[in-house]
Amino acid sequence: MTSIADLPAVERLPYDIARIRRDFPILKREVASGAHLVYLDNAATSQRPVQVLAEITRFYRDHNANIHRAVHTLSVEATELYEQARSKVARFIGAADPREIIFTRNTTESINLVAHAWARKFLKPGDEVVVSEIEHHSNIVPWQMLRDERGITLKYIPMLPDGTLDLDAAQSIITERTRLVSITAMSNALGTIVPLDVITARAKAVGALVLVDGAQSVPHMPVDVQALGVDFLAFSGHKMLAPFGIGVLWGRLPLLDSMDPFMGGGDMISTVSMERSTWADVPAKFEAGTPNVGDAVALGAAVDYLTALGMDEVRRHEREITDYALRRLADVPGVTIFGVPDADRRGGVISFELEGVHPHDIGQVLDTRGVAIRTGHHCAQPVMLALNVPATARASFYIYNTTAEVDALASGLEEVARFFGVK
Amino acid sequence: MAESGLLEDLYREIILDHYRQPRNRNAAIEPTCSADGANPLCGDQVRVDVALVDGVIEAISFSGQGCSISQASASMMTEYAKGRTAAEALHGVEAFQQMMLTGVAPDIEGFDDIASLVGVAKFAARVKCASLGWKTLAQALAEGGGTVTTDDGSR
| B10 in Cβ contact with B126 (< 8 Å) | yes
Q: What is the pLDDT of residue B151?
A: 55
Q: Does B42 touch chain A (CB under 8 A)?
A: yes
B154 within a domain of the structure (yes/no): no
| CA atoms of A118 and A232, how far apart (whole Å) | 11
B6 to A32: CB separation less than 8 angstroms, yes or no = yes
**Could you tell me where in chain A the CATH 3.40.640.10 domains are found?**
56-308
Question: What's CA A119's distance to the chain center, in Å?
Answer: 21
pLDDT tens sequence across A311-369: 999 999 999 999 999 999 999 999 999 999 999 999 999 999 999 899 999 999 999 99
B43 to A415: CB separation less than 8 angstroms, yes or no = no
pLDDT tens sequence across A151-189: 999 999 999 999 999 999 999 999 999 999 999 999 999
Residue type, A325: A
| B41 in Cβ contact with B152 (< 8 Å) | no
A390 to B43: CB separation less than 8 angstroms, yes or no = yes
CA-CA-CA-CA torsion for A421, A190, A347, A396, nearest 10 degrees?
-40
DSSP for B109-120, please give it.
TT-TTGGGGGGG
ipTM for the predicted complex comes to 0.81
Taking every pair of Cα atoms in chain B, the longest distance, rounded to a whole number of angstroms, is 52
| A375 in Cβ contact with A392 (< 8 Å) | yes
A358 to B7: CB separation less than 8 angstroms, yes or no = no
Residue-number span of the structural domain to which B64 is assigned: 4-144
- The number of beta carbons lying within 10 Å of the beta carbon of residue B32 is 15
Please report residues of A whose CB lies closer than 8 A to that of B68: 357-358, 360-361, 420
Q: Does A32 touch chain B (CB under 8 A)?
A: yes
pLDDT tens sequence across A69-101: 788 999 999 999 999 999 999 999 999 999 999
Q: Which of B4, B7, B63, B73 to mutate to test the interface with A (most CBs of A within 10 A)?
A: B7
A364 to B10: CB separation less than 8 angstroms, yes or no = yes
Count of structural domains within chain B: 1
- Closest residue in chain A to residue B45, using alpha carbons only: A390
User: Residue B20 is nearest to which of A376, A391, A421, comparing CB atoms?
Assistant: A421
Q: Among candidates A91, A18, A100, which has minimal Cα distance to A400?
A: A18
**Could you tell me where in chain A the CATH 3.90.1150.10 domains are found?**
14-44+310-419
The pairing of strands A374-376 and A392-396 is: antiparallel
The pairing of strands A371-372 and A38-39 is: parallel
| Secondary-structure class of domain A14-44+310-419 per CATH | alpha beta
Give A159 to chain B, closest Cα distance, Å.
Answer: 21
Q: Among candidates A375, A373, A382, A367, which has minimal Cα distance to A415?
A: A367
Q: Among candidates A235, A234, A224, which has minimal Cα distance to A302?
A: A235
Give A336 to chain B, closest Cα distance, Å.
Answer: 18
pLDDT tens sequence across A120-144: 999 999 999 999 999 999 999 999 9
B1 to A369: CB separation less than 8 angstroms, yes or no = yes
- Closest residue in chain B to residue A365, using alpha carbons only: B7
| C-alpha pair distances (Å), A62 with each of A56, A73, B7, B109 | 10, 11, 47, 64
CATH number for the domain running over A56-308: 3.40.640.10
Q: What is the pLDDT of residue A57?
A: 98
pLDDT tens sequence across B113-153: 999 999 999 888 899 999 999 999 999 998 656 667 665 43
- Closest residue in chain B to residue A377, using alpha carbons only: B42
| CA atoms of A275 and B60, how far apart (whole Å) | 67
- Closest residue in chain A to residue B17, using alpha carbons only: A420
Choosing from A1, A379, A389, A422, the catalytic residue is A379
A368 to B6: CB separation less than 8 angstroms, yes or no = yes
Q: Does B56 touch chain A (CB under 8 A)?
A: no
Give B43 to chain A, closest Cα distance, Å.
Answer: 5
Q: What is the pLDDT of residue B154?
A: 36
The secondary element (H helix, E strand) that includes residue A335 is strand A335-337
Angle at A418 between CA A412 and CA B1, to 5 degrees: 60
pLDDT higher than threshold 50 for residue A238: yes
| CATH code assigned at B102 | 3.90.1010.10
A64 CB-near residues (< 8 Å, 6+ apart): A74, A78, A294
pLDDT tens sequence across A358-382: 999 999 999 999 999 999 888 998 9
Q: In terms of DSSP H, where are the helices of A103-242?
A: 107-113, 120-122, 141-150, 167-173, 196-205, 225-228
Q: Is residue A60 annotated as part of the catalytic site, yes or no?
A: no
A377 to B43: CB separation less than 8 angstroms, yes or no = yes
Q: What is the pLDDT of residue B39?
A: 86
Report which DSSP code applies to A268: S
- The number of beta carbons lying within 10 Å of the beta carbon of residue B113 is 18
Q: Does A376 touch chain B (CB under 8 A)?
A: yes
Q: What is the pLDDT of residue B152?
A: 46
Q: Among candidates B14, B29, B10, which has minimal Cα distance to B129?
A: B10
Q: What is the pLDDT of residue A2?
A: 79
Report which DSSP code applies to A30: B
Q: Among candidates A396, A390, A112, A415, which has minimal Cα distance to A262?
A: A112
| CA atoms of A347 and A216, how far apart (whole Å) | 8
Q: Among candidates A15, A7, A167, A149, which has minimal Cα distance to A80?
A: A7
| CA atoms of A167 and A157, how far apart (whole Å) | 8
Choose the weakest-confidence range: A274-278, B20-24, B29-33. Answer: A274-278
